[in-house]
């Protein structure tokens, strides 16, 4: 009996129903800007991990933080790519859901995710497979139907198990070696858009998603 050939990256992309993104180094260029502010008079030393529920528009019941560090005396700011934001809109138009899993806790990320109407956002996750398993149960998905976009070794446990592992151009070498696809652009500079367009192109949905996006924006201008 002969063994079956491994799936090509293109074949893997055709199965994807959920795209998961790391934040620092993927949705951003990896820079973290901390602006000091007066510490509050009282409050918990550590915030729980955030899971944003898009259906209700509010944070859902918090998950236990897995070793994440957050500061009560600084505001964290990040820069995002507008091209990536458009890419997430294209994915949604094509019927593919998007999620964020990150080790850090940041109100900036929550704000960006809310602006883009991203379905799932998990923060404070040192062990990212816990969040992946929860989303699989909620969406009735298999690992083969999930793509993960990462850049560093903390992403490898998920990348090794999911159906399509995507590394951004500026990833660590270990991550690039274990990925199925590497984006032409770096994190924070269109890498997420690259990943989304790759999946949609292989599924034959990219051109229609672009047309739907243009049509929806044309309707906005007409009203």
| pLDDT for 74 | 74
| pLDDT for 66 | 39
Q: Is the pLDDT of residue 2 over 50?
A: no
Q: Is the pLDDT of residue 59 over 60?
A: no
Residues 6+ apart with CB under 8 A from 98: 18, 19, 20, 21, 88, 91, 92, 116, 118, 119, 120
For the segment 62-73, the average pLDDT, to the nearest whole number, is 46
pLDDT tens digits, residue range 81-108?
Answer: 899 999 999 999 999 999 999 998 888 8
pLDDT tens digits, residue range 101-119?
Answer: 999 888 889 999 999 999 9
What are residue 13's phi and psi, to 5 degrees? -65, -30
For the segment 135-152, the average pLDDT, to the nearest whole number, is 97
Question: How much is the mean pLDDT over the chain?
Answer: 85
Q: Is the pLDDT of residue 48 over 50?
A: no
Rounded Cα–Cα distance for residues 29 and 218 (Å): 31
Fold of 9-40+47-222: Rossmann fold (3.40.50)
Q: Is the pLDDT of residue 46 over 90?
A: no
pLDDT range class, residue 47, cuts 50, 70, 90: very low
For the segment 54-61, the average pLDDT, to the nearest whole number, is 51
| pLDDT for 108 | 87
pLDDT tens digits, residue range 5-25?
Answer: 789 999 999 999 999 999 999
CB-count exposure of residue 213 (10 Å: 0-12, 13-18, 19+): middle
Q: Is the pLDDT of residue 4 over 90?
A: no
pLDDT range class, residue 75, cuts 50, 70, 90: confident
The structural domains of the chain, with segments of one domain joined by +, span: 9-40+47-222
| pLDDT for 36 | 79
pLDDT range class, residue 73, cuts 50, 70, 90: confident
| pLDDT for 1 | 40
Residue 5, phi-psi category: left (phi > 0), alpha (psi -120 to 50), beta (remainder): beta
| pLDDT for 64 | 39
């Amino acid at each position: 009996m002969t063994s079956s050939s491994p799936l090509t990256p293109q074949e893997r992309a055709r199965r994807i129903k959920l795209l998961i993104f790391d934040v620092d180094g993927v949705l951003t260029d990896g820079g973290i800007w901390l602006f000091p502010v007066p510490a509050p008079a009282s409050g918990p030393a550590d915030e729980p991990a955030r899971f944003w529920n898009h259906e209700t528009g509010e944070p859902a019941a918090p998950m236990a933080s897995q070793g994440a560090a957050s500061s009560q005396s600084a505001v964290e700011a990040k820069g995002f790519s507008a091209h990536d934001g458009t890419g997430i809109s294209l994915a949604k138009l094509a019927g593919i859901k998007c999620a964020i899993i990150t080790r850090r806790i940041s109100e900036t990320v929550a704000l960006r995710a809310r602006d883009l109407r991203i379905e799932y956002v998990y923060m404070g996750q040192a062990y990212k497979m816990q969040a992946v398993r929860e989303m699989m149960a909620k969406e009735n998905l298999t690992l083969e139907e999930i793509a993960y976009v990462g850049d560093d070794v903390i992403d490898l446990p998920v990348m090794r198990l999911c159906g399509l592992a995507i590394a951004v151009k500026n990833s660590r070498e270990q991550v690039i070696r274990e990925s199925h696809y590497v984006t032409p652009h770096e994190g924070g500079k269109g890498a997420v858009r690259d990943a989304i367009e790759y999946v949609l192109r292989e599924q034959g949905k990219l051109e229609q998603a672009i047309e739907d996006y243009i049509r929806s924006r044309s309707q906005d201008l007409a009203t």
